[in-house]
Structure 1
Amino acid sequence: MEAGRAFVPHAQAVAGVLHDAAQELAALREVAGGRLRFGAFPTADAAPVPHALAAFSSRHPRVRVHREEGLTPAILDGLATGHLDLAIVSTTGRARLDAYDLHHLLDESLYVAVPAGHPLAGHPGPVPLDRFAEADWISGSPRPEGTLLDAALRRGFRPRVSHVVAEWTAKQGYVAAGLGVALVPAPAAESVRPDISLLRVLDEGAPARAVYGATARGRSPFPAVLAFLAALREAAARMPA
């Protein structure tokens, strides 16, 4: 009897290990198939998302992937309604993120895109953003509030938005033509065209734009979501500093 009681903790430990192993095997079976639905904001689609998606698809080829592109508020709506399993979002746009579980991916650096012939083109070090206080700006909105140009407001000047251009590739064309300068987040820096130059914005204590994978609060992410988040972190870690 005494020997039996002494054996109980060992049996419970073994049972616990077997239970954990069964859960891991079940998770592997789940990620081997099924569906992943995610949304991402546009500049995340420029670098980390395609790299992560390529890695994820090679590891889990049987998972059906549905991807949507949209601004952070729109893809958060898709997450809230259950239309999406994961939303890749940024802190730009002043979207309310406190209602979601956030999985940190990266803190972005900012760059100023200038024409190749600009006096500062090729400048080796970071430049203060207020160096461009008198410049014409190209932005996706006529107002800087809730956009990347919030960084200019924090530096004490209100940028003059001369051209409202939503698409990043089109913004590059406007910059290359000498019509203004534009702010570029780090994920888009990989896809810059050769006739413009990127200048690193000097970090003067302003908060970096953070990028998160958001999931619905109260719902445990299923294995495919966790696997894709891991691929996103790997892609973010490989991005140039």
Structure 2
Amino acid sequence: MPTTHSLYEIFLRVAADRSFTSAAAALGYTQSAVSRQVQSLESELGVTLFDRLPRGVQLTEAGRVLLPHAEAVRDRLATARAELDALRTLDGGLLRVGAFATADAALLPRTLAAFRTLHPGVTVARTEGPSGKHLRLLAAGDLDVAVVSDTAGQALAGCTLHHLLDEPMYVALPKGHRLAGSRELRLAELADEEWVAGSTRPEDTLMRPVVDAGFRPHTTYVVRDWIAKQGFVAAGLGVTLLPALAADSVRADITLATVHPDDVPHRAVYAATPRGLSPSPATAAFLAQLRFTAEELTAHTAG
């Protein structure tokens, strides 16, 4: 692609060479094209910048006044072009990312590690919190991409969802529990158990599908942090639901049983981006890496 030059860059070249012909040769233009560009700048500013002499040109007083300002414009343009090139080639720029808690256990850190290896020049700013928070930040233009779940219960106005995976659920049980080792456990088998949950309202938690079907867990302890939930389970204080994304980080002193999908369906996990906005090169590359990591985790879970 041929290089284009601003009017100020052409002006500076002519001033340095004192010749339209020499400037044209250096810039890759015709002499008449350079002359027209200088005339355009003179018309725009309402002054004559060069005295046209029989042999070459010479700056007028107005041209000498403009010279340092044109140099400043040229330097700023060079800086802008370098920054834009860095964005295009992923050698620079800022990527603002958010994710819900269990996505931070494996999906997001693995994606970030691979992305940093491929594109170390991109600065990544991360936020954490529930999916609803990230959807609001995306809609407000304060995030570029977020990993969210369909349990957010938020309106998706202003956001576009990109499906990543469908996440199965486990029940975390104390070691030695009578149902340890069960596959596709039915929650009716846990009707008499004490539960550790993130809310006193089970319909606001991962339990919502089974609550809608009539199952009412007996919530003894409200614990929002999923690592803390594991501590309560390990101490024998109850059982809890655990998403598959967090399974690799489970404590050694608890055990997991797969929940039958008819009781708690697999949870859809998405990457969300602002609707209607062109993704930056960094956002597009990060989305691609998220999909790849999600495929790896899905294959691992299935295995």
For the aligned pair, the TM-score class normalised by the smaller chain equals: 0.7 to 0.9
User: In 1, Cα distance between the equivalents of 2:204 and 2:275?
Assistant: 24
Bigger shift: 38-47 or 150-159? 150-159
Match of 1:92 in 2: 151
| 3-state SS of paired residue (2:173) | strand
Match of 2:191 in 1: 133
Shift of 1:62: 0.2
Q: Report the aligned-residue RMSD.
A: 1.9
Higher helix share: 2
Match of 2:246 in 1: 188
Match of 2:98 in 1: 39
| 3-state SS of paired residue (1:87) | strand
User: In 2, Cα distance between the equivalents of 1:187 and 1:93?
Assistant: 16
User: In 2, Cα distance between the equivalents of 1:147 and 1:207?
Assistant: 13
TM-score (norm 1): 0.84
User: In 2, Cα distance between the equivalents of 1:184 and 1:82?
Assistant: 31
1:114 aligns to 2:204 (yes or no):
no
Bigger shift: 47-56 or 222-231? 222-231
- How many residue pairs get aligned? The number is 216
Of 193, 201, 211 in structure 2, the residue corresponding to residue 153 of structure 1 is 211
User: In 1, Cα distance between the equivalents of 2:111 and 2:222?
Assistant: 31
Shift of 1:201: 0.5
Match of 2:126 in 1: 67
Change (3 A) 1:127 1:98: farther
Shift of 1:157: 0.8
| 3-state SS of paired residue (1:145) | helix
User: In 2, Cα distance between the equivalents of 1:197 and 1:188?
Assistant: 13
Shift of 1:220: 1.7
User: In 2, Cα distance between the equivalents of 1:27 and 1:207?
Assistant: 43
Shift of 1:107: 0.6
Change (3 A) 1:84 1:210: same
Shift of 1:93: 3.2
Deviations 1:108-161 (A, max 9, x none): 1000000011011123x2111222122111111111113101132144211111
Of 232, 246, 258 in structure 2, the residue corresponding to residue 200 of structure 1 is 258
Larger radius of gyration: 2
Cα contact 1:154–1:206 (8 A) shared by 2 = no
| 3-state SS of paired residue (1:193) | coil
Shift of 1:27: 9.3
Q: Using CA pairs below 8 Å that are at least 6 residues apart, which structure has the higher relative contact order?
A: 1
1:51 aligns to 2:101 (yes or no):
no
User: In 1, Cα distance between the equivalents of 2:180 and 2:265?
Assistant: 25
Identity within the alignment, %: 53
- Within a 5 Å distance, the mapping from 1:205-216 to structure 2 comes to 207-216=265-274
TM-score (norm 2): 0.68
Cα contact 2:138–2:145 (8 A) shared by 1 = yes
Residue segments in structure 1 that go unaligned for 5+ positions in a row? 1-25
User: In 1, Cα distance between the equivalents of 2:241 and 2:196?
Assistant: 8
Bigger shift: 68-77 or 128-137? 128-137
Of 199, 204, 222 in structure 1, the residue corresponding to residue 280 of structure 2 is 222
| 3-state SS of paired residue (1:197) | strand
Shift of 1:98: 5.2
Shift of 1:96: 1.9
Cα contact 2:100–2:129 (8 A) shared by 1 = yes
Shift of 1:182: 0.5
Change (3 A) 1:119 1:206: closer
Shift of 1:94: 1.4
Match of 2:76 in 1: none
